């Protein structure tokens, strides 16, 4: 997937009440300050297909549609994906 103005490069898939999702969000906010690259959040529980796909793996972070990690996401991996 190539980035466009309408499609964010970085997406955080998570759910309400998820402490790991809170940690991933904080990491992505730090990266936004560093790189200027924003992110979108998607609630997997709002869509049956996403809930089935990601289930207990949340949080999941993708860059340009490619999964970069789940549960505890490494900032260095997301940073490297953004540099590509």
Q: Cβ distance 40 to 8 under 8 Å?
A: yes
The secondary structure of residue 56, as a DSSP letter, is: G
Which pLDDT value is given to residue 2? 47
Q: Cβ distance 9 to 63 under 8 Å?
A: yes
Reply yes or no on whether the pLDDT at 4 is more than 80: no
pTM of the model: 0.90
Which pLDDT value is given to residue 1? 44
The whole-angstrom separation of Cα 80 and Cα 61 is: 13
> What CATH number does the domain located at 10-83 have?
3.40.30.10
Banded pLDDT at 6 (limits 50, 70, 90): confident
More confident residue, 52 or 2: 52
């Amino acid at each position: 997937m190539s980035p466009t103005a309408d499609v964010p490069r970085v997406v955080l898939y998570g759910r309400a009440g998820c402490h790991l999702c809170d940690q991933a969000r904080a990491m992505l906010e730090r990266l936004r300050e560093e790189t200027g690259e924003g992110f979108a959040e998607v609630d997997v529980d709002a869509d049956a297909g996403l809930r089935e796909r990601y289930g207990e793996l949340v949080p999941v972070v993708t860059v340009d549609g490619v999964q970069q990690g789940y549960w505890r996401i490494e900032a260095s991996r997301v940073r490297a994906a953004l540099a590509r």
